[in-house]
Amino acid sequence: MEVLGTFDEPWAMAILPGKEGILITERAGKVRWWTPTGVLNLEIGVPQVDYGGQGGLGDIAIAPDYATTHDIYLSWVEAGPDNTRGAVVARMHFDYGVFIYFAAPKTIWRQTPKVTGRGHFSHRIAFSPDGKYLYIASGERQKFTPAQDLTNNLGKIVRLNLDGTPATGNPFADKGGTSAEIWSYGHRNILGLQFDAQGRLWDLEHGPAGGDELNLVKPGQNYGWPLVSDGDHYSGEKIPRHSTRPDLAAPAISWNPVIAPGDFIFYSGKMWPEWKGQALIAGLGSAGLVRVRIDGEKAVEEARYPLGNRIRAIREAPDGSLYVLEDGKGGRLLRLSRK
C-alpha cells in the first residue's frame, strides 16, 4: 500500500490517458488533479454545487472521444426553487496547458423533478463499451414511489446519446418526454455503474436497513424498489422480499448486513490474474474491499480485504494495480499493488 495524497471528502476519480494523472472530485465543490509530481487545484470553470447531506460534486468520467476532444463529464447537485435540489451532468473541456482549467460546463441532463432533501442523488456515469452511449444512475431521492413512476427519472438508469439526448431504442421511447430516457427503473440509491468484459451493464446500490444489491441491468426491467427489498425500513417496518415478486428483477447478490458500497470495478486480471472478471467493490460500511465472482447472471462473494477506513471509490491503473480513495475529511488516495 502506497499513500499518494490526501483529499477532503473525495467522491470519485478518473484516470487520465497516458501519464497525465488522476482527476479527483471533492464533494464540497473542488476538482483536484493528482500527478506523480504533486496535486493541483482546478477552480476555473468548476460549477457551483449545492453541498450538504449526500449532495455536492459527484462523479467524473473521461469522454470516449477524449483523444480528439479533451472533454470530460462531471456530475453534481444544483439547487432549485423552494428548497429543492437535484443532480445534473455536464460535458466540458479540460485543458491542461499553461492555464489549467475546465471550460464553462454545458449541462446536458438533469434529475426531474427537483425535490426536497439531500439524499440519494446517485449521479454515477458510465459509457457503453462502443463509446456511443452515456448511462447515468439517478437515485430516488429518498422519496420511494417515484422509482416506479415512468413519468420522471428518479430511481432510474437512463441511456442517452453523448450530447444528453435520449438514445434511440430505449424501452419507453414511445411514451416521449422524460420516459424516453429510461433504460431501467425501480432503483433506490445507485453508487456503482459498470460494464463487464461481456458488455453487460451492472449496478451496485444501497438497500435500506439491509439489502444492498448488485444487479445485472437489462432494458425495461423493474428492479423492485420500494415494492420489494432484501432489507427493511429503518423504522423496523418489514418490506416484502424479492422472492415474493418473481415478476420483478432480483439482484445477482444482496447483503444483509450491508456493506454500504461506494463504487466498484470489473478487474482485468493484469496484476492478480486469479481475479480476472471479478467485481472489486469499495466498501464504506465494510471499511475495505469486497471481491465478488460473477457466475452467469448471479454473483458470489469471494473475499473481503479490510483497509481500516471507509472506502469511497476504486479504479484500476494501466498496470493492473488499484487506486483506492478513502471517504471523508483527510481521505487518502492509495495505490495497492502486488509484491
pLDDT at 249: 98
Pick 45 or 318 by higher pLDDT.
318
pLDDT at 226: 98
Whether the pLDDT of residue 100 is over 70: the answer is: no
Residue 48: what residue type?
A: Q
Q: Look up residue 241 and give its three cell numbers.
A: 422480499
pLDDT at 20: 86
Whether the pLDDT of residue 325 is over 80: the answer is: yes
Average pLDDT score over residue span 43-60: 94
Domains in the chain and their CATH numbers? 2-336 (2.120.10.30)
State the DSSP code for 113: S
Residues acting as catalytic residues: 120
Whether the pLDDT of residue 215 is over 90: the answer is: yes
Which helix (H) or strand (E) element contains residue 311?
strand 311-316
* 322: confidence class by pLDDT, cuts 50, 70, 90: very high
Give the percent of the chain with pLDDT over 70: 99
Instruction: Please state, rounded to an integer, the average pLDDT across all residues of the chain.
Output: 96
Average pLDDT score over residue span 193-209: 98
Lowest mean pLDDT among 35-39, 123-127, 177-181, 230-234: 35-39
Whether the pLDDT of residue 239 is over 60: the answer is: yes
pLDDT at 86: 98
- Give dist(CA 324, CA 332) in Å, integer: 8
Closest CA to 253 of 200, 282, 216, 280: 216
pLDDT at 97: 60
pLDDT per position as a tens digit, 5-25: 999 999 999 999 988 899 999
pLDDT per position as a tens digit, 164-182: 999 999 999 999 999 999 9
Q: What share of the chain is helix, strand, coil (3-state, %, to 5)?
A: 5, 50, 45
Print burial letters for 124-153: b (CB count within 10 Å at least 16), e (below 16). Answer: bbbbbeeeebbbbbbbbbbbeebbebbebb
pTM of the model: 0.97
pLDDT at 99: 59
